[in-house]
């Protein structure tokens, strides 16, 4: 019990968690929050797993068509975005470490850097979509001619590329919005005494979005390139 | 209202129209606050359970009315009562509403929400705000689906198979699909909340093997919520993209495959059967020992069987596709695995029966429902073995045999367990007793009505009547009329509780903390419980189901 009440006395410790009424101990509350996020990430993993499985089956069924279509994806934008997200995970990890140390100002800086890198990813992704549009690589647009119309299976792969990347971008967009909300709260005095574990729990989600991209990038852009 | 005062001296205190000094206000969770805001923005798991109870009852009524239309149309063989279109829409509304908006949330979202914290000795679920959020997500999804119904309905059936749903149906498929996708998130968040709560919020001394089976089955159900629901979310997202943008995943013209949708769909929807069945098994495992006053037979095996069912169920989805061009080897494997499901199911049934054996039996309403459940579940389960057999499946695939089989599980199982649980925990939830004679009469009506409705459908299916047709050969009329007649008895059985349970809210006898002499932490606190469930930290008994009679009956042996 005594080990569980970390931060019960805010004056003594600059870092801690305020116990919510329905939890018996702070340790229980921290455990619940972390486990809850892991459980959520498990569902997210299964959501994307179905998509990647579909993409992989497609590669097995129609290797040439998929290769032709994958060649039109902007490899270097994708690669740059991979680096951008990896950097954002680095700043997120730094924010978690800093939150444990109680260095609030630097932590807020790292959180802002993380959000900015996330936004940079989305901007690059948006530019990539624009370039795809210019190249007539948007088969789902009924009125716009499609560049690889003679190979029907390419259409399916390119469309799946949009579903997968859009679903990832939606997660990232939501992630940035939540991150900005947390950053705003985290910039207030005493935040780390009350809600330090928010940063750790949120960090799990951010790393997960990163991980999904690390799987999506090779599955869509790299294999058989 | 005025008669209440004459029946019970203090009943006027419950009348919201009578202003009373705050001192007289009971301080249980129902009366601690009374504003609308205190209900719609509550984070109390017990109040959220009641929000769910009200909403799923409304959906049950909608789904039941649609079923009534289906049975009405099938009274005549030539489709004179309903056109094909109307008939298709009626059975689709029935299926969509009953599966997605009643059966899946039914026991977990109401009793699970209400009881899990009470049973493990916690003040609330781990994430109370998330719990409220899931109810709002549920209602948002329901709104989309109801819009689809009001605008003119959907005719794809609850399964939304491609390519009918993606390319051919001219009905409001998109809003219905969006609604069902949204509802999935509500399930996921409820499951997540339960898993985390059961892992982290147990009272000191509440070890895993002191948990009531109800909590075990909800743990198993929550794992299915977490592992299977995201897959249907993805399948539905792809289906929406397919219908709206012609993505091509389920369209052979672009190298896609409509059967892929069936795989993704049943990868969720078969486990979803256990989302619907397992919580009911939890309810029965609580009722049977209480009304036999006997310790649950083989506690650990019943607990393991719940986890076993939740595991095996992920590997049997192919048995829905025996006639869809799946390879013979795959069909053989899925057939064998489907047989394996019978083992943990039978373990549960044998253990309930062994618990009843030489118990001190009371046939009160909840027990009548539980006995009905066991009988109907056995019938539904055994006919499932027919369907899992490849050769027989060829003959009865997509016939009324299938319809009867899953109604024995879904209605005979889940709905009876839901009603049994509702009567069992009604005194705890509301603090009032309902009319016992009316309870028994309705249980009897439901059991008889159910069998008259659905047993003829086994015969119809065996004789070859396919499901989902508005017309049928005239020689099937007698059995169809019998089935429709049975559904009116069933409807009466459903209507009675709606009346006498609501009546009991104001005029029922006050319930004591433990009116059934049942064991379990939820019976240790007041009826209805105070806002934070327990006055202090509850004392966990050393053994679950510590009833006077031991199981197996060893006489002098006491633990």
Q: Has residue A209 got a pLDDT over 90?
A: yes
Q: Does A70-136+165-225 carry CATH code 1.20.120.80?
A: yes
Q: How many domains does chain B have?
A: 1
The predicted structure's pLDDT at residue A56 = 84
Q: In 3D, which of B229, B217, B185 has the Cα closest to residue B112?
A: B217
DSSP code, position B319: G
CA B542, B547, B548: angle at the middle one, nearest 5? 115
What's the whole-model pTM score?
A: 0.92
Contacts of A38 in chain B (CB under 8 A): none
B3 lies in some domain:
no
**CATH number of the domain that residue B468 is part of:** 1.20.210.10
Q: Who among A23, A39, A160 is closest to B249 (CB)?
A: A160
In chain A, which among 54-73 make CB contacts under 8 A with chain B? 54, 57-58, 61-62, 65
Q: Has residue A6 got a pLDDT over 60?
A: no
β-pair partners for B294: B549
Q: In 3D, which of B92, B66, B83, B244 has the Cα closest to residue B158?
A: B92
When scoring B249, B314, B540 by the number of chain A Cβ atoms within 10 A, the one with the most, hence best to mutate, is: B249
The predicted structure's pLDDT at residue A147 = 86
Q: Who among B128, B195, B246 is closest to A39 (CB)?
A: B195
CA B396, B162, B99: angle at the middle one, nearest 5? 65
End-to-end CA distance of chain A: 57
* Domain residue spans of chain A: 70-136+165-225
Report d(CA B140, CA B179) in Å as an integer: 7
Interface membership of A39 toward B (CB under 8 Å)? yes
When scoring B123, B248, B263 by the number of chain A Cβ atoms within 10 A, the one with the most, hence best to mutate, is: B248
Question: What secondary structure, in 3-state letters, does A194-212 show?
Answer: HHHHHHHHHHHHHHHHHHH
Report d(CA B519, CA B244) in Å as an integer: 54
Strand (E) positions, B184-306?
none
Task: Assess contact for A65 and A157: CB atoms under 8 A.
Answer: yes
Could you report the per-residue pLDDT of A73-124, keeping only the tens digit for each?
999 999 999 999 999 999 999 999 999 999 999 999 999 999 999 999 999 9
Contacts of B235 in chain A (CB under 8 A): 50
Kindly state the percentage of chain A with pLDDT values over 90: 71
Alpha helix ranges (H) inside B97-212:
104-107, 113-120, 128-151, 173-200
B21 lies in some domain:
no
Interface membership of A44 toward B (CB under 8 Å)? yes
Residue B432 phi/psi, 5-degree rounding, is: -125, 150
Q: Which residues contact B204 (CB under 8 A, 6 or more apart)?
A: B537, B540
pLDDT averages per 10-residue partition of chain B, 559 residues = 42 52 72 91 96 97 97 96 95 96 96 97 96 97 95 94 92 96 97 97 95 97 96 94 90 87 94 95 97 95 96 94 91 95 95 94 96 96 95 94 97 96 97 96 97 97 95 96 97 96 95 94 94 89 90 61
Total length of chain B: 559
The predicted structure's pLDDT at residue A3 = 42
DSSP code, position B465: P
User: A47, B245: Cβ pair inside 8 Å?
Assistant: no
User: B192, A39: Cβ pair inside 8 Å?
Assistant: yes
Q: Which residue of A has its CA nearest to B204?
A: A24
Range of the domain at B358: 43-523
The predicted structure's pLDDT at residue B223 = 96
Task: Assess contact for B116 and B216: CB atoms under 8 A.
Answer: no
Number of Cβ atoms within 10 Å of the Cβ of B148: 24
User: A22, B128: Cβ pair inside 8 Å?
Assistant: yes
Q: In 3D, which of B423, B495, B412 has the Cα closest to residue B458?
A: B412
């Amino acid at each position: 019990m005594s080990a569980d009440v970390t931060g019960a006395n805010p004056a003594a410790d600059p870092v801690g968690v305020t116990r919510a009424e329905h939890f018996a101990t702070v340790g229980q509350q921290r455990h619940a929050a972390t486990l809850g996020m892991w459980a959520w990430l498990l569902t997210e993993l299964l959501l994307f797993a179905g998509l990647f499985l579909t993409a992989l089956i497609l590669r097995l069924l129609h290797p040439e068509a998929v290769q032709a279509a994958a060649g039109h994806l902007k490899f270097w934008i994708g690669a740059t975005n991979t680096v951008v997200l990896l950097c954002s995970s680095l700043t997120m990890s730094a924010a978690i470490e800093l939150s444990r140390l109680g260095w609030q100002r630097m932590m807020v800086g790292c959180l802002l850097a993380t959000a900015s890198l996330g936004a940079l990813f989305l901007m690059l992704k948006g530019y990539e979509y624009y370039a795809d549009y210019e190249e007539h690589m948007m088969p789902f647009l009924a009125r716009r001619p499609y560049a690889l119309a003679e190979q029907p299976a390419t259409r399916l792969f390119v469309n799946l590329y949009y579903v997968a990347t859009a679903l990832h971008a939606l997660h990232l967009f939501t992630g940035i919005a939540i991150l900005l909300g947390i950053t705003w709260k985290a910039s207030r005095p005493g935040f780390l005494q009350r809600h330090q574990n928010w940063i750790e729990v949120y960090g799990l989600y951010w790393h997960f979005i990163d991980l999904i991209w690390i799987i999506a990038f090779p599955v869509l852009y790299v294999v058989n390139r | 209202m005025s008669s209440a005062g004459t029946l019970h001296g203090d009943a006027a205190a419950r009348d919201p129209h009578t202003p009373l000094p705050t001192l007289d206000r009971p301080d249980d969770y129902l009366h601690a606050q009374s504003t609308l805001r205190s209900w719609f923005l509550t984070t109390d798991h017990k109040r959220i359970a009641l929000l769910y109870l009200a909403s799923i009852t409304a959906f049950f009524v909608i789904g039941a009315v649609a079923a009534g239309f289906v049975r009405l149309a099938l009274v005549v063989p030539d489709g004179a009562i309903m056109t094909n279109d109307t008939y298709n829409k009626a059975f689709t509304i029935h299926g969509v509403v009953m599966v997605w908006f009643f059966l899946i949330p039914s026991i977990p979202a109401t009793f699970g929400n209400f009881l899990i914290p009470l049973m493990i000795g916690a003040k609330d679920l781990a994430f109370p705000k998330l719990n409220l959020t899931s109810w709002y997500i549920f209602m948002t999804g329901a709104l989309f689906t109801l819009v689809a119904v009001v605008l003119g309905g959907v005719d794809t059936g609850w399964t939304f198979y491609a390519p009918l749903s993606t390319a051919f149906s001219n009905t409001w498929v998109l809003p219905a699909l969006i609604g069902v996708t949204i509802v999935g998130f509500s399930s996921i968040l409820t499951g997540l909340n339960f898993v985390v709560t059961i892992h982290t919020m147990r009272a000191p001394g509440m070890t895993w093997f002191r948990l009531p089976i109800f909590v075990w089955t909800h743990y198993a159900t929550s794992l299915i919520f977490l592992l299977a629901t995201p897959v249907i979310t993805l399948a539905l997202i792809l289906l929406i993209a397919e219908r709206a943008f012609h993505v091509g995943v389920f369209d052979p013209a672009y190298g896609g495959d409509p059967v892929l949708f069936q795989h993704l769909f049943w990868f969720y929807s078969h486990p979803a059967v256990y989302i619907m069945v397992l919580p009911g098994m939890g309810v029965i495992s609580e009722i049977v020992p209480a009304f036999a006053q006997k310790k649950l037979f083989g506690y650990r095996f019943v607990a393991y069987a719940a986890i076993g069912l939740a595991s095996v169920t992920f590997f049997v989805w192919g048995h829905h596709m025996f006639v869809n061009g799946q390879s013979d080897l795959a069909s053989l494997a899925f057939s064998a695995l489907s047989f394996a499901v019978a083992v943990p199911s039978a373990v549960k049934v044998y253990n309930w029966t062994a618990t009843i054996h030489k118990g001190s039996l009371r046939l009160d309403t909840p027990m009548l429902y539980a006995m009905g459940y066991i009988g109907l579940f056995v019938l539904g389960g055994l006919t499932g073995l027919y369907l899992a057999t490849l050769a027989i499946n060829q003959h009865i695939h997509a016939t009324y045999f299938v319809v009867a089989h899953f109604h024995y599980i879904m209605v005979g199982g889940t709905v009876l367990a839901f009603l049994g649980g509702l009567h069992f925990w009604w005194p705890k939830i509301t603090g009032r007793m309902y009319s016992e004679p009316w309870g028994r009469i309705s249980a009897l009506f439901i059991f008889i009505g159910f069998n008259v409705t659905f047993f003829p459908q086994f015969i119809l299916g065996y004789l070859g009547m396919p499901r989902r047709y508005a017309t049928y050969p005239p020689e099937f009329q007698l059995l169809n009329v019998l089935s429709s007649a049975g559904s009116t008895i069933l409807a009466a059985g459903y209507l009675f509780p709606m009346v006498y349970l609501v009546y009991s809210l104001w005029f029922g006898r006050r319930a004591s903390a433990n009116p059934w002499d049942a064991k379990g932490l939820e019976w240790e606190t007041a009826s209805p419980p105070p806002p934070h469930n327990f006055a202090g930290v509850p004392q966990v008994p050393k053994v679950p189901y510590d009833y006077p009679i031991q199981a197996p009956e060893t006489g002098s042996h006491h633990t």
